Amino acid sequence: MSGVMKGLTVFIGDIRNCQNKEQEEKCVEKELAKIRKKFTNKGLSGYEKKKHVWKLIYTYILGYEVDFGHLEALNLINASKYSEKCTGYIATGIMLNEMNADPELLEMVINSIKTDLTCGNEVYESLALSTIANIGATEFARSLGSSVQRLAFCEDYKPSYFIQKKACLCLYSFFKKNKEIFNREVWASAFDNELLTQKNYGVLLSACGLIHGVLVTMGTEGFEGCVTKLIYILSRIHDYATDYLYYRTPSPWLQIKALKILRLFPPPEDEEALNAINEVLISLVTGTEVGTNVNKNNADHAILFEAIRLVIHYKDKANEIVRKDILALLGRFINVREANIRYLALETMARLSHNEVISSYLMKEHMNTIIYSLRDPDLSIRRRSLDLIFALCDQDSATNVVNELLVYLNENDYTLKEELVLKIAILAEKFALNLNWYVDVIVKLITTESAGDYVSDEIRFRVYQILTGFGEVDPNYELQKYAALQIFLALQVDFVHETMIKLGASVLPEFGHHIADAPGKSHTDQFEVLDKHFTTSNISTKGMILTALMKFALQDSSLIQHATTIFTRYSRSWNEDIQQRAIEYLRMLKFLEKDESYREFILESFEPLPTYPDHMQNNSVLIKRMSQIKKKKNLAATGKDDTEKDIATEATEEYKAQVSSALSRGKSKEASSTSGSDIFSGDTGSKTEGGAFDDILGLGDSSGSDVLGHPFAKANPGDFSSSQTVDINSEAEELSMNGDQDSKWKNLIPISCTDGTIFEDDNIKVNMRFNISKYVTRVLVDVQAMLKVPDGMKAMISDTKYPTNDTDNPKAMMTVLHTGSIKEDIKMAIKYESGFGDPVKQVFRVPVLVNKFIDKVDMEQDRFDHLWNDISTNRPDSFEKVDLVMSNPARGSGASQMDVLKKLAKLLSMCMNLKVLPPTDKSNFSKICAVGQVHVADEDADFPKNADDINNGSTVPLMVECEFYTDINEDEFRCSIRSNDKVRVTASFAQLFKLFV
């Protein structure tokens, strides 16, 4: 081409000869001006157009903006000469931008491409398919989807295999952009009867890519016929791959894709199909060996590990011989030299670790090898080994595993150290038969020279939680005594890590009295051991030490003089916090010297902390910290199937549902039933009389585990989750109404309400205006003075801006961040002086609840059903699943169930900001579905200073179903809520929904 189009060659040469960027820009501008002038000549030949369009393409590739020439490229598409048509398609594929393109030009391009797609010329069809697949524009998918589907599915025309292969790939590109082109019945028939019956390898491979992408997104319902076809393909793979041998391995890509698709379906019920796939799996598992050729090894083992994952998916339906061979193979693979194979073997072992029998076998047979892999030069293998050890650890092996990890902790693997420290702490808590051992492990973690910096505050908080206790059970005083002793001994060293000092400042003042009678461990000794570390500590630790010294002084009056000296010294500190603490504590001690009657008042400020809520025993802060580390280090399964989770994440989730046997020991049955519900076990506890449902809806036991005994659940068990993991009454405060002021509060709750009056009396009027952005809600609070005007007069107050003068309305901007579970609504107080000088305090509720942080989500009904069923039946009990039976709010009024559902749909949309999916039959329906996402800020997020700071954070899905069962009872309906396990949102949402129903 360079010999033909001399002008293009010269232009490229001129660009290359430019000495700097300025020369290049001048050269490009000069050439673009020439081309623009040339295009004004309507008699321009096809050759000239082609040459100038190529110059534009080259200029665009260099990064310069090209805002003309698109019409000439379109004219080339319509040309009959191949070189000109090819140039037109290349220019369109590279330079066309759907977002900025002129609608008329886009329509002309679509019409030209549609003509080529239906012309029957293989070359033209190929050019058109390649271009539109690369562009993948939404408008192209909408307008050309049917034409591409016609070629892919051979609906009324049989294209060549070459074109059908390209059409399948193009159709998948369109499907990702526009799901509306999907028709379940048509596509299922085409997959089963056309694509999977092809003998051509290229078409089969493209078809499998399309099928896998569609099934992952839209679910497998209606596509069950594909299973037998895929099994047949795998059993006859040599027939398909005579020309597609990769290092003597028949078509590895087709085998892998077929196995991936099969993993989306349950094991086949047909005995013949099950035997056939088992034979395929046996041949793959037993016939794969590690050879000397790296490329062949990669191909063979990619197929092998995909087959192993299918065996794991089939569970006991897989052949027993295969299951036994897998364990032997994995044991051999973790010892090979090839890093990729070792990594895959470790990952697969982690998947098998969920089976207790297999986990025990792997622990006994291969633990030494797995621990040895922690010292592998490859970071990914070290990380995977650590995840596997974490997943395999059990009660019998916990002590040895933790000791091994503590030894490994000293080997300066800084890339894993933070995660390693967290996992050691979690394992020590989870498998501690004696919590004294847990305390020893934590103290060793902190005092280990290379690990102290990686012991996070979350670990320290967790220790304090365990020592304080949970629920209504008496604390473990022996544990408190042992922990105080060990921490006191650790602080004897002259130089100790900051975290240990913080732990000592928290633990010794609270539990040090248990050891105060022992020689050398009195309150005075504990006081002095903390004081000696004051000068070497940072500011936050110094503040904790001052508080600890104050507590000691209140416990032992002989220390008051010593404490007074210290507080006097630091009352002149340059740091505001230290100075303020010292002055306040010094003032308290002086009050005590003057009058002992102040003692009781001061002691109230330093009361021992009560035990933590019972649900926090399971909901460890360490698990949340682990998830944050995974997110920051991008350890999620990048590039894996959307249906799969990271192995380490799965293993971590399991720990949420489990409690240390030592922690749970001593809980009486009575305490278990009254101290709150266990949200992970599915036991929602006993429902007390006069609960929220009794007060508002007139129902009895109709939520949590009790709902499963309701006639609705017995008649329709598939609509109710077998594990009710949320107790809305214990996880969120009931929202009630009391008086006119609360009515104003309720009126401002809906997302559609942007401003209004929240409080009003004879003296003041408080208005609020809302600005919502993701997880941030800003509330402008405006306070106005009220005028009392007698008859016969008129008066007004002009609008003013605070704080110009004393007569202006005070205004304040409140910023609310959604960082976690909302348990109650915000209260706000305003203090002012009345006209008579009397102090007045008014308290009112701020209408910022979970709905302020919800956004609508566009979703098809099929996708909704797939996700709903997945959470209800497949996901662990850490996911939020709750089904409620609620009274028909319109019972006795004569309103139909559809009228009620329409009102509920309006409530979910206008108030809760959920996307309500349209029913299939709008003239007759008994169920509505709604979906949205809740925005949540990171736990350590600061208040945003500008709009750019609001980009971070995460989202939590929220799905709702409301359904009437008129054949059973028209006076009640089902309301079900589903969400994942990131942040607990369903309880607060349910309480808000109840308020409006």
Residues of each annotated binding site: 38, 47, 51-55
> Can you spell out the DSSP letters for 458-494?
HHHHHHHHHHH-BTTSPP-HHHHHHHHHHHHHHTTSS
Residue 736 CA to residue 727 CA, distance in Å, equals 18
Q: What are the structure tokens assigned to 41, written together?
A: 């000549």
CA distance 694 to 704: 15
Asked whether the beta carbons of 823 and 732 are under 8 A apart, the reply is: yes
Sign for the pseudo-dihedral over CA of 58, 63, 69, 73:
positive
Whole-angstrom distance, CA of residue 336 vs CA of residue 772: 56
Cα separation, 289 vs 360, whole angstroms: 26
CA-nearest of 200, 269, 192, 187 to 230 is 192
Tell me how far CA of residue 503 lies from CA of 185, 345, 487, 660, in angstroms.
Answer: 63, 41, 8, 22
CA separation for the pair 689, 701 (Å, rounded): 9
- Cα 850 to Cα 203, 797, 824: the distances in Å are 50, 36, 10
Instruction: For CA atoms 548, 554, 556, 557, give the dihedral sign.
Output: positive
Among 454, 482, 444, 451, which residue's Cα sits nearest to residue 466? Answer: 482
Phi-psi region of 682 (alpha: psi -120 to 50; beta: other; left: phi over 0): left
Q: Which two tokens stand for residue 86?
A: 């090819």
Choose among 102, 112, 110: nearest CA to 70.
102
Q: Both tokens of residue 463?
A: 């220790």
Q: By the 8 A CB rule, do 879 and 984 touch?
A: no
Kindly give, in sequence order, each residue whose CB lies less than 8 Å from that of residue 386, ignoring residues fewer than 6 positions away. Answer: 374, 416, 419, 420, 423
Question: CA 740 to CA 513: how far, in whole Å?
Answer: 52
**Which residues are CB-neighbours of 234 under 8 A, at least 6 positions away?**
255, 258, 259, 277, 280
Tokens in use for 129?
A: 């398919």
Q: Is the backbone peptide bond immediately before 810 cis, with ω within 30 degrees of 0?
A: no
Our measurement of the distance from residue 234's CA atom to the centroid of its chain's CA atoms, rounded to an integer in Å, reads 36
Q: How many helices (H) and strands (E) does the chain have?
A: 42, 14
Q: Count the residues in the chain.
A: 997
Q: Return the closest-CA partner of residue 960 out of 925, 924, 983, 985.
A: 985
Q: Which residues pair with 767 in a beta bridge?
A: 757, 782
- Other residues' Cβ atoms within 10 Å of the Cβ of residue 165: 22
Per the CB < 8 A criterion, the answer to whether 299 and 291 are in contact is no
What the block records as the tokens of 644 is 């799969």
What is residue 243's three-state secondary structure? coil
User: How crowded is the C-beta side of 160, counted as CA atoms within 13 Å?
Assistant: 10
* Closest alpha carbon to 862 in 792, 917, 909: 917
Distance CA 443, CA 467 (A): 14
CA dist 684 and 701 (Å) reads 11
* Close Cβ partners of 615 (under 8 Å, ≥ 6 residues apart): 676, 677, 678, 679, 730, 731
CA-nearest of 711, 698, 665, 703 to 686 is 703
The answer to whether 96 and 70 are in contact (CB under 8 A) is yes
